[in-house]
Structure 1
Amino acid sequence: MASSPLGRPTRGTTGTNRLRRSDRWIAVSSAFRSSPDPLIVDLGYGASGVTAFELAARLRQVRPDAEVIGLEIDPVRVATAREQLEEVRAGRTPFPPDIRVSFARGGFEVPLPDGRRAAVIRAMNVLRQYDEADVAAAWRAMAARLAPDGLLVEGTCDEIGRVSSWVDVTPDGQPARFTISLRLAELEQPSIVAERLPKALIHHNVPGERIHALLTDLDREWARAASLSTFSATQRFLATVAALRDLGWPVRGGRTRWRLGELTLPWDAVAPL
């Protein structure tokens, strides 16, 4: 347990299944799949430990040895999550009683037992309450607790997990990739993600900035592909992403990820000017 956790308590509540999109991203990451010690940190999990349980349940389908530690600054929230864990261990929840989850008090310093380092640290909806000037230092502090090939996933999502975006940060504290993840069914405009951009980008969605140009092109190509909605929203999004790539945007990944409503680009393509 950290005696003086670094950071401020998270303000938000915790929604069931809210972080499923980032769960899926972590599950396919090489940082998790190839790690000799698949320890994942759910940093700032909120008022309930449910996101840590959900993450562990999904990751164990890929690697049965996956382990999740939930960290919160607020000791009351840690106590609540440990009470929930007792219910899980007693078999009174939908989660496996032997699920490898624990909870502790901690912040950006990411205290871990026995000198261990995290394969992945997830910090969703944590930095929204900070100033943009605080972001780089927070990234560096968390990334310093990663394994050599580890990954920090820092971002934001809406209350029900249909609109998400995040930044992949490497162990040296530098941003590497930016991802948008959207539920395509009933999506009106992809730029709805503007409300849920990571703190490092949200104030830069203005003309002249790269992220604004991306969202403008994304909306325009989504509108141009409207006729494909007859077939499905997925087909429309596939055409939208292909059009972005043709415009010169350095889109990463392939159709398997695009079908999920995901769009990933190198950080340099959207970084603030």
Structure 2
Amino acid sequence: MREMSAPVGNPTRGTTGTNRLRRNDRWIAASAAFRRASDPLVVDLGYGASGVTAFELATRLRRVRADAEVLGLELDPERVATARRQLEEVRAGGTPFAPDLAVSFARGGFEVPVPNRRRPAVIRAMNVLRQYDEGDVADAWRQVASRLAPEGLLFEGTCDEIGRISSWVDVASDGSPVAFTISLRLAGLEHPGIVAERLPKALIHRNVPGERIHHLLTALDREWERAAPLSTFGPVQRWLAAVAALRTQGLPIQGTRTRWRLGELTVPWSTVSPAS
């Protein structure tokens, strides 16, 4: 593969860590875009200073599909070189990861260079757009998503440093956002609204009265507090009660209890889209 001399995008801080993106990994592994793909290629765009998130993603995906592949892309050639050295260690059997893990690394950005004209089933871009302006987000979505397979999805969002608080947007191959997901570690959770600190760039400045995301988070916090007596039975039961209350009130929460039990809540993008 001929690597791009001038990949598109701005450098990220590069912070990463073991299991930081486990919640998003799990979401990708369960997605129809991945499970039904004719070519289950997944791109980890902007993986950071270490290739560990790509290794973890590939490990989780191969449990669902043995033919899954992960391509890690970074703007910085030094980060690519570091990840390739790590991959050599994996191949040599000196890590907890399987030596035959289907992972590769290359230099690239929003143009998403993939060899042999392949179209990824999924592109993951977590913690990539944080330093961009809100006005840049839609163009970034369109450019990155244009590289997807027709039924593919881009998952773009943010998480905290240890992966307990995260949220992301599902973006279709035409660049249109289709859903928004919150994913929280329920053990020790004080209130769900803490996710406001880790909203995707398209929403993080919109958590103010009059905006749909503010309405959702306010309602979620309210029902979490109302369900406090269920804490006796554990945080999962408290969360399930809060989610059920929101559905009763008419919020179009997607998925089933299987997903909700994981601390997830997904709604159509129209439920949280900016008012203007």
What TM-score, normalized to structure 2?
A: 0.98
Matched, 1:22 2:47: no
CA distance in 1, matches of 2:121, 2:240: 31
Q: What is the aligned-residue identity percentage? A: 77
CA distance in 1, matches of 2:197, 2:215: 16
SS of 1:155 mapped into structure 2? strand
Counterpart for residue 6 of structure 1: 8
Give the CA deviation at 1:13. Answer: 1.2
Matched, 1:162 2:161: no
CA distance in 2, matches of 1:12, 1:181: 22
User: What's the Cα RMSD here?
Assistant: 0.5
Matched, 1:39 2:44: no
CA distance in 2, matches of 1:9, 1:201: 21
Contact 2:157 2:199 in 1 (8 A): yes
Counterpart for residue 74 of structure 1: 76
Give the CA deviation at 1:9. Answer: 1.2
For 2:269, the aligned partner's letter is W
Matched, 1:97 2:99: yes
Give the CA deviation at 1:132. Answer: 0.3
Give the CA deviation at 1:117. Answer: 0.6
SS of 1:127 mapped into structure 2? coil
Choose the corresponding residue for 2:213, options 211, 214, 219.
211
SS of 1:173 mapped into structure 2? coil
Matches within 5 A, 1:1-273: 1-273=3-275
For 1:3, the aligned partner's letter is S
Contact 2:73 2:109 in 1 (8 A): yes
Give the CA deviation at 1:247. Answer: 1.4
SS of 2:188 mapped into structure 1? coil
SS of 2:175 mapped into structure 1? coil
Contact 2:14 2:47 in 1 (8 A): no
- Write the deviation string for residues 82-106 of structure 1: whole angstroms up to 9, x where unpaired: 0000000000000000000000000
**Where in structure 1 do 4 or more consecutive aligned residues deviate above 4 Å?**
none
CA distance in 2, matches of 1:60, 1:36: 15
For 1:131, the aligned partner's letter is D
CA distance in 2, matches of 1:126, 1:116: 23
SS of 1:57 mapped into structure 2? helix
- Write the deviation string for residues 18-58 of structure 1: whole angstroms up to 9, x where unpaired: 00000000001010000010000000000000000000000
SS of 2:155 mapped into structure 1? strand
Aligned length: 273
SS of 1:141 mapped into structure 2? helix
More moved, 159-168 vs 1-10:
1-10
CA distance in 2, matches of 1:193, 1:158: 9
SS of 1:52 mapped into structure 2? helix
CA distance in 2, matches of 1:27, 1:83: 26
CA distance in 2, matches of 1:14, 1:200: 22
Give the CA deviation at 1:12. Answer: 3.2
CA distance in 1, matches of 2:49, 2:191: 31
**Unaligned segments of structure 2, at least 5 residues:** none
